[in-house]
């Protein structure tokens, strides 16, 4: 696979999994401390990665859980739910995301403790956090795994996610599975890139646990890193506007999930099959896991999507477009 070091990838996965004990200890300590609600804070791709975590949690608990955009929360007037009795969790791989730092400082001014994930305890976020968990490389699937471990362990402690131990044990083979799935998918990733990388505009559709990763891929990868014009729309909203843009020659990518919203994805599929000749369907159900039970497939579904599109398709887009995934005009290049 182009630009992919399998040995390094598995090593990074082991390094991330080695944080399990620290994550669980933090979850246990936070549970003992107690809280009235959970406020999860992200922005951009980090917000998108938190989305399926919060989505899954809400299926298992009636505890109030808020997913907040950091830039909005800073200036938001009505945030009475954010108190000393809140459990606030955030993340920034780089540790210098401006809006995340601002919101952490805001919480400190309000005497609210903040737990978070970052690459180093010595970066700006690491220094500010009251509880810091190292996320060694910040890759999407590692972030998903660690975020889910923290939050589902908390629910386990509350008696709400009873199979946490089995879930966490089975995450030990996550990266081996995602490596194999990448290898199986690579010929298709190359084909997709060759057919669609130079398209001027593409539509991306999904629902449920896949929605956050869909936005991340279309916005943080194709828009930011490839300067491609995209439209991400949920399967639920697709029929309230975006369907009118579908016609022969317009690429539509549908990511089919495995949760209760799959029927909405299938409705989009029936429509697009009729009205565009450039229709790509990725059904995460097609990819099997070895050593991970089916009951955890919804949790793992965004990890499949990030491995196949955010990594493999994006890497092959770069080859076709000749536009480096590392090059930016504005993002982190100028003041704005």
Q: How confident is the model at residue 238, as a pLDDT?
A: 98
Burial class (CB in 10 A: 0-12, 13-18, 19+), 323: middle
Tell me how far the alpha carbon of residue 125 is from its chain's centroid.
20
Residues 55 and 86 in one domain: yes
Same domain, 280 and 233: yes
Q: Is residue 334 part of a domain?
A: no
Q: Enter the pTM of the model.
A: 0.96
330 lies in a domain? no
Q: What share of the chain is helix, strand, coil (3-state, %, to 5)?
A: 55, 15, 30
User: 142: which DSSP letter?
Assistant: H
**Structure tokens that stand for 170 in this block:** 């089975």
Residue 333 covered by a domain: no
Q: Any idea what the CATH number is for the domain that residue 316 is in?
A: 3.40.50.10490
Q: What is the distance between the alpha carbons of residues 6 and 16, in angstroms, rounded to a whole number?
A: 15
- Shared domain for 158 and 226, answered yes or no, is no
What is the Cα–Cα distance from 300 to 207, expressed in whole angstroms?
15
Whole-number Å distance between alpha carbons of 121 and 96: 12
HSE toward the beta carbon, residue 179, CA cutoff 13 A: 14
Domain identity same for 148 and 186: no
Which of residues 134, 162, 190 is at a domain's end? Answer: 162
User: Same structural domain for residues 191 and 146?
Assistant: no
Chain-centroid distance of CA 226 in Å reads 19
pLDDT for res 257: 98
Looking at residue 137, its pLDDT comes to 74
Instruction: Give CA–CA dist 113/100, Å, rounded.
Output: 14
Cα end-to-end span (Å), the chain: 37
**Residue 89: left (phi > 0), alpha (psi -120 to 50), or beta?**
beta
Q: What is the pLDDT of residue 227?
A: 97
Q: Is residue 331 part of a domain?
A: no
- How far is residue 63's CA from residue 120's CA, in Å, rounded to a whole number? 31
The count of structural domains within the chain is 2
Nearest to 116 by CA among 48, 21, 32, 26: 26
H or E element: which one contains 111? none
Select from 162, 185, 218 the last residue of a domain.
162
Return d(Cα 244, Cα 262) in angstroms, integer. Answer: 22
Same domain, 68 and 153: yes
At residue 159, the pLDDT reads: 97
| Domain membership of residue 148 as a residue range | 6-162
Does residue 327 belong to any structural domain of this protein? no
Same domain, 143 and 184: no
| pLDDT score for 7 | 97
Residue 136, pLDDT score: 75
Residue-wise over 120-134: b if at least 16 C-beta within 10 A, else e?
A: beebbbbebbebbbb
Output the tens digit of pLDDT for each of the chain's 336 residues: 999 999 999 999 999 999 999 999 999 999 999 999 999 999 999 999 999 999 999 999 999 999 999 999 999 999 999 999 999 999 999 999 999 999 999 999 999 999 999 999 999 999 999 999 998 777 789 999 999 999 999 999 999 999 999 999 999 999 999 999 999 999 999 999 999 999 999 999 999 999 999 999 999 999 999 999 999 999 999 999 999 999 999 999 999 999 999 999 999 999 999 999 999 999 999 999 999 999 999 999 999 999 999 999 999 999 999 999 999 999 999 988
State whether 144 and 280 are in the same domain.
Answer: no
- Helix runs in the chain, H state only: 6-17, 20-33, 45-57, 70-75, 98-109, 124-128, 140-157, 164-170, 174-196, 211-215, 224-226, 262-275, 297-305, 314-321
In this prediction, residue 11 carries a pLDDT of 95
- Which pLDDT value is given to residue 135? 87
The Cα angle at residue 173 between residues 138 and 306, in degrees rounded to 5:
40
Does 40 map to a domain? Answer: yes
Q: What's phi and psi for 248, nearest 5 deg?
A: -55, 135
The residue among 140, 162, 184 that closes a domain is 162
pLDDT at 68: 98
Is residue 51 domain-shared with residue 187, that is, in the same domain? no
The neighbour count for residue 281, using CB atoms within 10 Å, is 16
Do residues 181 and 254 both lie within one domain? yes
């Amino acid at each position: 696979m182009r630009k992919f070091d399998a040995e390094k990838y598995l090593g990074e996965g082991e390094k991330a999994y080695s944080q399990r004990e620290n994550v669980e200890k933090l979850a246990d300590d936070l549970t003992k401390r107690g809280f009235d609600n959970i406020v999860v804070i992200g922005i951009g791709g980090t917000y998108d990665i938190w989305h399926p975590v919060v989505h899954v949690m809400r299926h298992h608990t009636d505890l109030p859980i808020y997913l907040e955009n950091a830039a909005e929360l800073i200036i938001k007037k009505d945030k009475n739910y954010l108190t000393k009795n809140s459990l606030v969790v955030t993340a920034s791989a780089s540790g210098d995301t401006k809006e995340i730092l601002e919101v952490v400082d805001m919480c400190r001014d309000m005497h609210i403790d903040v737990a978070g994930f970052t690459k180093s305890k010595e970066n700006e976020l690491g220094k500010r956090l009251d509880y810091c968990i190292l996320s060694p490389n910040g890759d999407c699937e590692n972030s998903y795994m660690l975020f889910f471990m923290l939050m589902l362990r908390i629910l386990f402690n509350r008696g709400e996610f009873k199979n946490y131990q089995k879930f966490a044990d089975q995450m030990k083979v996550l990266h081996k599975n995602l490596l194999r799935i990448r290898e199986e998918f690579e010929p298709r990733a190359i084909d997709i890139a060759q057919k669609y990388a130079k398209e001027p505009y593409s539509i991306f559709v999904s629902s449920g646990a896949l929605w956050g990763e869909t936005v991340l891929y279309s916005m943080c990868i194709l828009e930011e890193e490839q300067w491609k014009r995209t439209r991400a729309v949920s399967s639920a909203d697709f029929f309230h506007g975006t369907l009118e843009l579908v016609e022969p020659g317009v690429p539509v990518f549908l990511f089919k999930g495995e949760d209760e919203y799959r029927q909405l994805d299938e409705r989009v599929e029936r429509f697009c099959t009729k009205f565009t000749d450039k229709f790509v369907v990725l059904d995460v159900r097609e990819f099997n896991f070895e050593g991970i039970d089916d009951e955890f497939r919804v949790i793992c579904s965004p990890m499949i999507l990030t491995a196949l599109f955010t990594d493999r398709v994006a890497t092959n887009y770069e080859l076709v477009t000749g536009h480096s995934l590392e090059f930016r005009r504005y993002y982190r290049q100028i003041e704005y």
